[in-house]
Every structure is written in C-alpha cells, then in structure tokens.
Structure 1
Amino acid sequence: MALGIVEPKKGAQPPPGTEYLVDTTQTSGEHHYEHTHFLHGKGKKHDIILVPQPSNDPNDPLLWPTWKREVAFVVLFFNSIIFAACPGPMIAPATVALATQLEVPVKKVAQLSGYQLLIVGALGYEDISFFDHHLTSASRSSANLFFMYSPIVSVLAEKYGKRPQFLFASFFGALGTGICIAGFDQSSLSKSYTVLLAGRMVQGLGTTAYESLAVAAIGDMFFLHKRGIRTSLLVLTTACLASFVAICAGHMFEVLGARNLFVVLLPLQLFGFVCAFLFIPETQFRRNERKFGAATEHGGFAVQEKAETSTQSVTQEPVESTASSTTPKRTFIQDLRLTSGVYNHDGILKLLGRVFIHLLNPAIVWITLVAAILISFFVGTAYTLAQIFSPPPYLLTVSQNGYFFTGALIGGILGVISGPLCDFSARTLSRRNKGVFEAEFRIPVNILAVTMLSIGWFTFMWALERPGLKGGVYLCSFCYGAVCFGTSVAGTSTGLYILDAFRPYATEIFILQMMIKNFLFYAFSTFINEFAAEHGPANMCKVWGIITVCGFVTCVPMYIFGKVNRSWVHRMHMEYLGDK
C-alpha cells in the first residue's frame, strides 16, 4: 500500500493517474536509467517531472508559447464568468420584487433560473405542464432539441474538438440575453414572462460548454503541477463570482430596473464572443502517451528495455526546446478555423453512449456526492434567500439582499487557495511515495472542505432559529460564505481528480457531472421555496449539513480504493470499448 492506497492485483499495469511527478533521491536510485528520460520542468521546478510528457509536434497545446496558453485561459475564465456565472444569479436578489412586477408567483421567478439550468442539464421530466402552458408548439419542438444538447456537446467536443463548442456557446449566450431584453418590451405581462423564459432557456445553451469543457481544456494546455490554481479559479466563477454578480444585480435592479441588467450584460457577452473567436484555438490534441514502465508486483514501475528508451533524449531544458517535428506549426489565421479536423472516428451513437457508461464508475458517484450535490445546496439556498430575509423581522430591500452575498464573495475568493493546496498536497505526498504521484493525493484537502461546510450549515441553522438575534443577518452571511468556501475546495479537488485519474475521459465525465448538477439545480427550483416556507429555513440548513457530512465520509473509501477502481475502469475501457 502506498500511503494507505490499496494497490491493484499483481501484474496489473499502472492505471492512468499513477505517474512519476517528483524527482527524488529514492526515485533516481531505484529507477535511474528510466527516470533520466523524463522531461522535467525548469527553474525552481527542475525536480518536477512533466505530466503528461509532451509530444514533438509544435501544435501540441503543451508546447504552445506561454503567452498563448495564458491568453486562452484568461478568455476561458472571463467567458465562464459572463456566460456561466452571470445569467443564473442575476435575478436571485430580486426574486420577490420581480414576481410582483410580472404578477406571477415567486416560484415562477425561481423557475426562470431553474428552466435555464434544466436546458444546461439536457432533459427534464418534472412539471412539463408548466412548459406546455408557456411554450408554443414550435418553441416546444425547439425545447425538445435543447434538452438533448448537453450530451451532444460532449460528443461533438470529443469528435470535432472544443473550439466549435465554445464559439457556439458564446453566440447563443449573447442571443439569449438579447431575447431577455426583448421580453421586457412586450405588450402584456404574460407575454413578457414567456419571452423572458425563452431567453433564459437560450442563455442556458451559452452556459453548457463553459461550465463543462473549460476545466477539461486546462488539462489539454497545462501540465499536472500547473493545473491547481487554474482549476480553482474556474471553480471560483460558479461560487464566488456568481455571488459578486448577485451583489451588483441587487443594487442595479433598484436603480436601473430588471431590463437593464441584461442590457449591461449583452456587450460583455459580445466582447467575449469576439475574444473566443480570436484567442481560444483548438485545445484538443491526440498524442501518443509515452509509457515508461509496467507495474512490478509491488505496484511500482519496472524499467523498460534499453531499446525502447534509447531514442528519448535526456533533457532538463525548457519544454519548448524539445519540439523537433516535420509537422508545420499552425499560423494564427489557421488557428481561427472553426474546426481542426476529426479527433475521434467512432460513431455518434457510440460516443453518446459512452457518456452514460461512466455512471457505472464508482468514482463518478463519489464526485456527485461531494461536488454536484454540495453546489446544488449552495445554489438552491440562493433561491430562498430573498424569501427569508425580505419579510419581517429582517426586512431587507432588494439591494440589501444582494449585499447578503458578500459573505459568499469573500468565501469564494479565499477558496482559490484550494488550487495551490491541492498541488502542494500532490507534491508532498508524491515525495513521501518515492516520487510517484497517485490521483488520490488530491482527496485529503476535503478535510478542510467538510470542516468549513459543517461550520457554515449548522451555524446558519442556529442563527435562523433565532430571528431576533442581533447581527443575525451578518452571521448568516458569514455562514453562507463558509459554505461557499467549502464548496470551492470540494469542487477544485474533484475537478483535479477527474483530470488526473480519468484524463482520457475527462470531457465526458465533466459533461455528465454538469448534467447531474443542473438537474439538481432545476429540481431545487421546483420545491425549495415551498420547503423553506413549510419546514422553516433553519430545518433546511440542518438537512443540508447532515447530508454534507455523510457525503464526505465517502472520501475515506475513495482514497483507499481509488487506485483499484482506476485500474478496473481502465481495464473495462480497454477490453469492452476498444480504447487504447
């Protein structure tokens, strides 16, 4: 056992997610010949082994100039904010006020976000009569197509690359915002609500790719030891920056009105669309992974024959200098092509089926428990905050309801440290494991996550049980911030685990996780307001806290048996799906 991790059966190949990461005395001593043929980092990272090992193709995203990779990441980060983080919480602080303005129940305003997220999640079963009441037959046909969009994003990204999906999402995100603006110019309130609902649904198409493919794109462009901070920044967009949007939106609603919330967003999204076209090249790349060894009976690596490794040059120079290929480097104009070819020649139906096959992977069940459900609790509670704090004894205005999200904003910003913490944990445990990294080394940081989530939910419960408590609103805001912090840590940990443990299937798994998460978002919008009103918001927080603690207990068996599971999943894909 490596630091408590159970090894697969004797003679099994090391599964993806088991890699040399740190050049230690022990590693060099035991596997010196093989180990010297790894490409290393540079400068202070000279002892870090590059995972994955780059190819010699100048078009390999791992070999792009630093500025090109960083600009692509900045655009992904910005677009994740304006297309994925902004649309949902824009109307959260104004839930009660907007319901009054449109003369509809509070539940239907919550469903403006719920159905948007349902589109992102791909398929809906609940409350279809509500759709039938508000959509024409033509719109209903379009909605049926929209419902199947998310898994198709995975298939199209796998087959034709991620760039077309990002451009498609950017276009429809901006289009949906334009439709929302038009919704406030209708002749009647019922028409306004219908058009606004349609606009929110189209906005959902703009959310899908950025919410599910952005983290996978990080795995395409950056080595393992550089993914932590960037993954945590993308997780930040769904937690912290969504809260920042709510803070701004609450004040803007009172000053400018609901229509102008979308008017302000539209030029930002148009700018994001242009930036995506210019600065997000295709990150999908098929490289022949270098295999440096097979497993020994103790689960380690055995040295390959000299003939297999003698062609690899020994270097610790910057990675860019290792590229020597007859393949021409693509120009900036060539990078602007919509697609760069076909990356997978399997049929559409087979690729579509593969998305759902991952539900058989126990790791996906674990990721759902400690990431998707936690974020659903965080977002679902946001639907109820205006309902809780607008009536007596709190009497918060729309802008004050927005300011309540300050706690979540601060918690999300602090949650960015989860990325460096995950990288630190990976390096530290790898050194103790003779330089060998295991994907499960990303899991221990969840101790911090469950601690903060427990503090957040149970203290939130205690404060809501005492509505007359002096400073109770501030304490509740702090608790919501603690929840946001814990959610960010868990989201970063599980996102990195997917990239490390199931790198060949990361796109499909992120799509599946996103679908499950947004199904839950939609489900919460259909009952959470009534649940909070009937059972009390304090009881709601208690339920979330108990489920959270129970969910995180699964981190223990996942850490212990995760490598066995990775080996099993890899073997199943090799034997039954024909993966190489």
Structure 2
Amino acid sequence: MALGILEPKKAGEQPPGTEFLVDDTQTAAEHQLEHENFKHAKGKKTNIILVPQPSLDPNDPLLWPTWKRETAFAILFFNCIIFAACPGPMIAPATVALALQLSVPVKHVAELSGYQLLIVGALGPLVSVCAQKYGKRPQFLFASVFGVIGTGICVAGFDQSTLGRSYDVLLAGRIVQGIGTTAYESLSVAAIGDFFYLHERGVRTALLVLTLACLSSFVSIIGGTMFEHLGARNLFVVLLPIQIFGLLGTVFFLPETQFRRDTTTPTGAPSASTESVKEKDGGQAVTHETTITSGSGSSNIASSTPILPPKRTFVQDLSLTSGSYTSTSMLKLLGEIFIHFLNPAVWWIQLVSAILVSFFVGTAYTLAQIFTPPPYTLSVSQNGFFFTGALIGGILGVSAGPLCDFTASRLAKRNGGIYEAEFRIPVCVFAVLLFAVGWFTFGWALDNPKYAHVYLCSACYGAVCFGTSVASTSAGLYILDAFRTQSTQIFILQMMLKNFLFYAFSTFVNELVATRGPGYMCRLFGTITLCGFVTCVPMYIFGKRNRVWVHAMWAKYLNEKTS
C-alpha cells in the first residue's frame, strides 16, 4: 500500500500513472539499472525523471525549443480567453438591461448564452473524433475561423430593422460563436500533455482552468462597464479584431501538437541497457543493422545510431494537417468516446469538476437579477464589478497548479521516489473548505441583506471561484497523468456534461431564484458540492486498481478491434 493507495491484486502490475518521478540517493541505488537509461530534467530539477520519456525524433513536441513550446502555449492560452472565456459572460452583467433593450424576457437573454453552450456540448464529440483522426491543429484553426465569423454576425445583429430580427440574428451569431468555442474547451487541457512533461503541467493546467472556468469574471467586469458607456454592439466590435489576432497566432505559431510516440515510461520495470525505438507509421526513429568484421569472423550487431526523419521547417508547420493518425473510422471513434463511461474516474471528474463549474456559471445567470432590484439597486457596470471577488478568487486559483505539483513531488519522495497519479487528489481537501465557506455564507448573506453588504456576497462568490479552480486543476491533472492516451475523450465527456448543464440552468435557474430565493439556490449548490467530494476518498484508495482495470479493458478492446 503506497500512502493509503491499494496496490493491484496481481503483483507486478504497474499501470500508466505510476512512474519514477524523483531520484534521490535511496531510489537511485535501489533502481540503478532502470534509472541510468532515463532522461532527466535540466537545471535545478536534475533529480526529476522526464515523464513521458521523449523519443529521438527531432519533431517530437517534447523536444521543441523552449521558445516554440512557450509560444504555442501562449497562443493556446490567449485563444482560450478570447474564443472560449469571452463570448459567454460578455453580456451577463447586462442581462436585465439587454432584455429591456431587445424587449424580450430576462430568460431569453440568458438563453443567448445557453444555446451557445448547448452547441459547444453537442459538437464536442465530433471535434474529439476529428482531433484523433487528423490532429488538434485543424480543430483549433476551424474554431478560430468560426469564432471570428460568429462575432461578426453578432455585430450585424444590432443593425437590424426590428428588435425581433435583432434578437434572432444575435442568437445565430452566438450559436456560431459556440462552434468557435468547442475546440478550445475540448482539446486545450489535453494538448498540454502533448508538449509538456508531467512536472511541467501543473501551472499551465491551472492557467487553462483559470480561463475556461473563472476568467469569465474579468470579462463580466469589463463587459458591464463597456455596456453602460459604449452599448451592447460595441462589446462585439471590440472583440472582433482581438479574435482576428488570435486566428493569425493560431495559423503561424500553433503547430500540430499531436505526435505518434513510442514512449519509454519509467514505471519501474527493468529496461534494456541500450535504447531501442521501434519504427512506427508517422516518422519515428528506427534502428538498422551493420556488419562488423573481426579476425574470427563477422557478426550482425544492431547499431545504436538511429535513422531520424528530417526536422520540419517553419513552413511545413503551417500545413493544415499532418496526415491521418489512425485508420479507425470516424463512426467507431465516435462510439469509443462513450465507452469511457465505464471508467469510474470519468464519473468522478464529472462530480468534482464539471458539475461544480456549471454551478458557478449557472449562478452568474442570476446575479444581475438579484442585485439590480432593491435593496441593492446596482447599475450594469456595478453588476460587472460584483465579479471582482470571483476574479481575485480565480487568480488565486492559479496557485492550485504549483500546489498540485508540490504535493505530488513530496508524496512521491515519501513513496520512495515513485509517483502515483492519485497524489493529485489530496489537494481537493482545500477545495472543500473553500466551497463550504463560499456557498453557505453566500446563502446566508443573500437571505439577510440588511446585515450583509454586497462586498461580502462578492467575496463569497470569489471563494467559490477559488474552490472551482483548485478542484478542476486537481481533477484535470489526475486524468492527464492516469489516463494520458484517453484524456482527450474523457475531457470531451466532461465538457459535454458541463455545457449541457449550462444550457439547462439558462432555462430554469432565473425562475428558481424568483420563486425560492437566491439563498436557497446557494445552499442547494453547496450541499450537492460537498456530497460530491465524498467520492474523492474511494477514488484515492481504489484509484490504482481502477487504472489497472481500465487499461487492461482498453487494451483488450483495442486488440479485439485490430484482430
């Protein structure tokens, strides 16, 4: 038993997600044969073993120059903001004011975001299948193009002759924007695992979680002020050139990150003293035999010098696709996504990430409805500034990345240098505390406006945002580490449920607040949240056994498919 994690029932089974991560005096002596062939990090982290082990191919994204990797991540991060985080919450502070401007019920304005997110959830599986078949770059490019077109349609929506037609065109633009959001919501976190090592993923995953889950708060602050001073149309006018810049960044600085790699994973199994990389369709390094003649005769000896493919040029990186990554049909790939519902970890990440994010965003639909009337009487811009608490909470949530990396390294050291993917889960204890304080104090404050200032409400919403960041980062890193090859499909399922819930909330949450009160909503969300986190205990204890079972089941399925 590794620090409370049950070992597999069969001795010697070491699934992905269990690897040598930290070299120290004790582990180096105990596993000298294995460790001498593993590549390590450079600089101050020379005791960290690289997971996964990079190939010899110069086109391996793990071997890209630092500037290229960081530039690609910067473009990915920026585009997650402008294509995924910005469109939805732009109009949240102006829900009531926009309803008056368009002469529609408040519920219909909420549905402008709801239908957009419904499209994101519905298209998620198709985007995943296309990424598996043709790579992630085409999906990011198409998403960027549709995002720009959708924003342009929204601009045109305010120039129509009638209010009814304006609403219809605006709704169409929001739906097209949803097409532009899908790839960035679906594939971004999984892409982190394509060109960053395990020990480098924490901060970057936290940053993407910040954009996809919590940066909506900053967008709402800006959107509220701009709506009040410049009008609704100019929200989209300002966004359009920024999205065009993001599109150009995708074209020139976000190459294909997907790669066919025969990985040498440091799982503790003895490895050969010479490194051999098998040939694989798609340009992997291969070994060749040479004949060495000596006085006693000749013999064939495998040369350790690999035949490497040429390094891709900058112009080649600009190509739309890098060919097909699998011969499996699109229909079969689509069906394979839903096979992952057999994995208990998929249900766990839905509980501690997807549902929690949907509660946070669903509450945003109601905030203008709560704080615009008396006793608060906030203006549109003041409704936007209410999200300041959530913005601060989201920024603090970035600390979840380093915190996850720190706890994982510390627990790995205590475990003899061996890292278990379940070491990502204990951080959720911190998230539970934040959610408990945030939701229940928020509920009390809304029920007692005479004694609780709006600043307290904003701070509580910020605590919920902070907790959402911590929980989503922890869960996302666990999936990346434990189920790396299936992570894209799992994140798709998470994104689907999350966006379907976003749409569902847009259809009833405003009425729930009107009939039962906002305090009831907060207590309901808080209770469900704390109950969901109870599943972290069995996930930690039985997680390794589950990994063994899932990978064995998946390997059996793949063997049957290819036979």
TM over 0.5: yes
Measure the CA separation in 2 of the matches of 1:200 and 1:281: 28
Partner of 2:286: none
Give the alignment partner of residue 265 of structure 1, picking from 239, 246, 270.
Answer: 239
Distance in structure 2 (CA, Å) of the matches to 1:335 and 1:3: 45
Task: Give the letter for the 1:446 counterpart.
Answer: C
Q: Report the AA paired with residue 540 of structure 1.
A: M
Q: After superposition, where does 1:278-297 map in structure 2 within 5 Å?
A: 278-291=252-265
1:292 offset after TM fit, Å? 5.2
Is 1:536 the equivalent of 2:517? yes
1:181 to 137, 155, 164: 155
Instruction: Indicate if the aligned counterparts of 1:243 and 1:406 stay in contact, CA closer than 8 A.
Output: yes
Q: How many angstroms apart in 1 are the aligned matches of 2:182 and 2:495?
A: 8
Asked if residue 500 in structure 1 is aligned to residue 481 in structure 2, the reply is yes
Contact (CA 8 Å) 1:57, 1:324: kept in 2 or not? no
Distance 1:72 1:291 in 2: 25
* Selected match of 2:169 from 195, 204, 216: 195
For 2:215, what is the secondary structure of its paired residue? helix
Q: Is residue 277 of structure 2 the alignment partner of residue 310 of structure 1?
A: no
Answer whether contact 2:351 2:532 (CA < 8 A) is retained.
yes
* Partners of 2:19 and 2:265 within 8 A in 1: no
Take 2:412 and 2:160, find their aligned partners in 1: how far apart are those partners? 61
| Deviation at residue 32 of structure 1 after TM alignment | 1.1
Instruction: State how 1:95-134 maps to structure 2 within 5 Å.
Output: 95-122=95-122
Superposed structure 1 runs of 4+ greater than 3 Å apart? 322-325
Mapped partners of 2:35, 2:470: distance in 1: 33
Q: Which amino acid aligns with 1:223?
A: Y
Q: 2:10 and 2:318 mapped to 1: Cα distance?
A: 48
CA distance in 2, matches of 1:74, 1:292: 29
Q: Secondary structure at the match of 1:94?
A: helix
1:334 to partner: Cα distance: 0.1
Q: Which residue of 1 is the match for residue 490 of structure 2? A: 509
| Structure-2-length-normalised TM-score | 0.93
| Corresponding letter in the other structure for 2:432 | V
Deviation at 1:12, TM superposition (A): 5.2
Deviation (angstroms), 1:291: 4.9
Contact 2:53-2:265 at 8 Å conserved across structures: no
Q: Deviations over 1:389-417 (max 9, x none)?
A: 00010000000000000000000001100
Please tell me whether residue 359 in structure 1 is matched to residue 341 in structure 2.
Answer: yes
1:68-101 superposed Cα distances (whole Å, 9 cap, x missing partner): 0000000000000000000000000000000000
CA–CA distance in structure 1, aligned partners of residues 270 and 127 of structure 2: 41
| Equivalent position amino acid for 2:487 in 1 | A
User: What do the CA deviations read for 1:2-40 (whole angstroms, capped 9, x no partner)?
Assistant: 000011122453111111100022222221111211110
Output the CA distance in 2 between the equivalents of 1:468 and 1:68. 55
- Most deviating of 508-517 and 218-227: 508-517
- 1:24 & 1:4 partners in 2: Cα distance? 22
Return the letter of the residue paired with 1:17: G
In 1, are the aligned partners of 2:51 and 2:266 still within 8 Å (CA)?
Answer: no
Answering whether residue 69 of structure 2 is matched by residue 33 of structure 1, we say no
Q: Secondary structure at the match of 1:380?
A: helix
**Residue pair 2:195, 2:257 contacting (<8 A) in 1 also:** yes
Aligned: 1:524 with 2:505:
yes
SS in 2 for 1:437: strand
Counterpart in the other structure of 1:205: 179
Equivalent pair of 1:240/1:410 in contact (CA under 8 Å): no
Find the counterpart in structure 1 of residue 531 from structure 2. Answer: 550
Are 2:401 and 1:419 equivalent residues in the alignment?
Answer: yes
Measured after TM superposition, the shift of residue 302 of structure 1 is 4.3
Measure the CA separation in 1 of the matches of 2:12 and 2:372.
60
Structure 1 CA distance for aligned equivalents of residues 179 and 269 of structure 2: 48
3-state DSSP of counterpart to 2:19: strand
- Note the alpha carbon deviations across 1:331-385, whole angstroms, 9 max, x for none: 0000000001111111111110111111111001000000000000000000000
- Indicate yes or no: 2:133 matched with 1:159: yes
Match of 1:474 in 2: 455
Q: Equivalents in 2 of 1:292, 1:467: separation in Å?
A: 57
Is 2:434 the partner of 1:452? Answer: yes
Letter in 2 for 1:82: I
**TM-aligned CA distance change 1:463 to 1:332, over 3 Å:** same
Distance in 2, Cα, partners of 1:450 & 1:310: 48
CA–CA separation in structure 2 for the residues paired with 1:353 and 1:8: 29
Shift of 1:242: 1.0
Q: Is the 8 A contact 2:51 2:265 kept in 1?
A: no
The one-letter code of the counterpart of 1:534 is T
Question: What is the aligned counterpart of 1:381 among 345, 359, 363?
Answer: 363
1:57·1:325 contact (CA, 8 Å) conserved in 2? no
Q: Return closer, same or farther for 1:33/1:118 CA change in 2, 3 Å cut-off.
A: same
Contact 2:93–2:380 (CA under 8 A) maintained in structure 1: yes
Matches within 5 A, 1:79-98: 79-98=79-98
Corresponding residue for 2:557?
576
Can you list the C-alpha shifts for 1:138-178, whole angstroms capped at 9, x where unaligned? xxxxxxxxxxx221100110110000000000000010000
CA contact (8 A) 1:389 1:395 kept: yes
Equivalent pairs, count: 535
Whether the 8 Å contact between 2:352 and 2:532 is mirrored in structure 1 is yes
Distance 2:266 2:317 in 1: 32
1:347 aligned onto 2:329? yes
> CA offset at residue 506 of structure 1?
1.1
Mapped contact 2:16–2:547 kept (Cα < 8 A): yes
- C-alpha deviations, 1:467-494, integer Å up to 9, x for none? 1125x20000000000000000011111
CA contact (8 A) 2:22 2:413 kept: yes
| 1:78 to 2:78 alignment | yes
Q: 1:138: which partner in 2?
A: none
Q: Counterparts of 2:270 and 2:191 in 1: how far apart (Å)? A: 32
| Aligned counterpart, 1:296 | none
SS at 2:4 equivalent: coil
In terms of mean alpha carbon deviation, does 84-93 or 31-40 score higher? 31-40
- Deviation digits for residues 87-129 of structure 1 (CA, Å, limit 9, x no counterpart): 000000000000000000000000000000000010xxxxxxx
Partners of 1:38 and 1:155 in 2: how far apart?
A: 33
Unaligned runs of 5+ in 1: 123-148, 294-300, 314-321
Tell me what 1:144 maps to.
Answer: none
Q: Which residue of 1 aligns with 2:422?
A: 440
The answer to whether 1:409 aligns with 2:376 is no
Query: Contact 2:362–2:505 at 8 Å: present in 1 too?
Result: yes
| Identity value in percent | 70
| 1:242-257 → structure 2 map (5 Å cutoff) | 242-257=216-231
- Further displaced range: 461-470 or 74-83: 461-470
